[in-house]
Amino acid sequence: MPKNFIENTQNADMHLAQEKFLQLLPGSASILDFGCGSGRDTKYFLEKGYQVASTDGSAELCRLAGSFTGIKVKEMLFQELNEIGVYDGIWACSSILHLPKQELLSVIQKMCIALKDNGVIYTSFKYSNFEGERNGRYFTDFMEDTFREFIKVIPELTVEDQWITLDVRPGRGEEKWLNLILRKKSEIEELHIEPTDVMTGDKKQSRYLLYQLKLSMARQTD
């Protein structure tokens, strides 16, 4: 992992987004830093007194972030998230944007399931309508309207806040980012979806799929 990547991300000022996120959480909140990278945000949340679990898909970043934050960082792919109702907030800063749209939708559904009732997600994407490889990495970008259309099939989540920022890393101040706060509206246990509803519309289909995913995950933990 290039040294300048670690230094640039650890030193990047994300205070505005961090505080917007924390203001929506209870004082003793449990936070998942989902794709924690260098560990910058995990350390910030820990220093504020929150309970933080951190994951990353890179073994090297897990080691470096663990050393930086003082906690164990779990090596895990986004698709492996299988918790139910655990977190008050999920922080996914510049992380899940590397998934293709179809995989991204499934992962956001898993994030929704992992949230407690009324929990919040912070996430960010590069500000455009591009999807594909850029400088050797895959990106899914969004603008306000395209993300709202994308997320409509997960009716349990609403866009509570959104804002545009410039990249805070050195030499990249011309790049724009879409920042999003999503809120889980209701517990999956309260959906009361019947199998016969699955063909009556996109929203009911999405709810039923979420319900089935929850049941499957629950069986795996029995």
- For residue 12, the model assigns a pLDDT of 75
Q: Cα-atom radius of gyration of the chain, to the nearest Å? A: 17
Cα–Cα distance list, 221 to 3, 30, 111, 122, 127 (Å): 39, 20, 17, 27, 38
Examine the pLDDT at 196 and tell me if it is beyond 50: no
Question: Which residues are 181's β-sheet partners?
Answer: 122, 161
Give me the pLDDT at residue 13, please: 78
Asked if pLDDT for residue 206 goes beyond 70, the answer is no
Diameter of the chain by CA atoms?
Answer: 55
User: Is 83 within 8 Å of 213 (Cβ atoms)?
Assistant: no
Q: 139 — phi, psi (to 5°)?
A: -135, 140
Q: State how far the Cα of 53 lies from the Cα of 31, in Å rounded to an integer.
A: 6
pLDDT at residue number 167: 83
What is the tens place of the pLDDT at every residue in 159-191?
A: 999 999 998 765 655 789 999 999 998 654 445
3-17, 18-32, 177-191: which has the highest mean pLDDT? Answer: 18-32
User: Which range (11-25, 107-121, 123-137, 149-163) has the least confidence?
Assistant: 11-25
Neighbours of 215 (CB within 10 A): 11
Lowest mean pLDDT among 26-35, 72-81, 199-208: 199-208
Q: Which residue has the higher pLDDT, 216 or 44?
A: 44
Query: What is the spatial distance between Cα 216 and Cα 222, in angstroms, rounded to a whole number?
Result: 10
pLDDT tens sequence across 121-146: 999 999 999 999 998 999 999 999 99
pLDDT mean across residues, the chain: 86
- 210 phi and psi angles, rounded to 5 deg: -60, -45
Q: Residue 219 is encoded by which pair of tokens? A: 């069986």
Residue 176, pLDDT score: 96
10 Å Cβ neighbour count for 165? 15
**Per-residue model confidence (pLDDT) at position 221:** 52
Q: Check pLDDT > 50 for residue 113.
A: yes
Q: What pLDDT is attached to residue 203?
A: 56
All structural domains of the chain: 3-190 (3.40.50.150)
> Which residue type occupies 13?
D
Residue 207: partners with Cβ closer than 8 Å, 6 or more residues away = 155, 156, 191, 193, 197
Q: pLDDT for 41-83, tens place per residue?
A: 999 999 999 999 999 999 999 999 999 999 999 999 999 999 9
Q: What is the Cα–Cα distance from 134 to 130, expressed in whole angstroms? A: 9
Amino acid at 23: Q
